Amino acid sequence: MNKQRRKAIEKLAEQLEELKTEFEALKDEEQEAFDNMPESIQYSERGETMESIISNMKDVLSNLEDACYGIADLENV
């Protein structure tokens, strides 16, 4: 890989890491909002929807982490 493409990959890796951090903060906010709800609402349809969203956000975060590791592997080649 030439220097120009390596620099472009490094820049994308930095951007992806920033996005991952921002997304994780949003997931944490959603989790905190759920945790601060009264139990009666947590067990309602609204609470179940929030739990599903949080679970999906965790999956997305895991995929973002995998992408970060994949890019790091490219940088180490």
Among the listed residues 17, 24, 1, the one whose alpha carbon sits nearest the alpha carbon of residue 75:
1
* Domain that includes residue 62, residue range: 17-75
Please report the pLDDT score of residue 17 as a whole number: 96
Sign of CA dihedral 24, 28, 30, 34: positive
pTM: 0.88
Q: Enter the tokens of residue 55.
A: 């679970």
Q: Does residue 4 fall inside a structural domain?
A: no
The pLDDT value recorded for residue 74 is 86
Q: Which pLDDT score is estimated for 75?
A: 76
Q: Is residue 25 part of a domain?
A: yes
12 located within any domain:
no
**In-domain check, residue 10:** no
Does residue 33 fall inside a structural domain?
yes
Domain count, the chain: 1
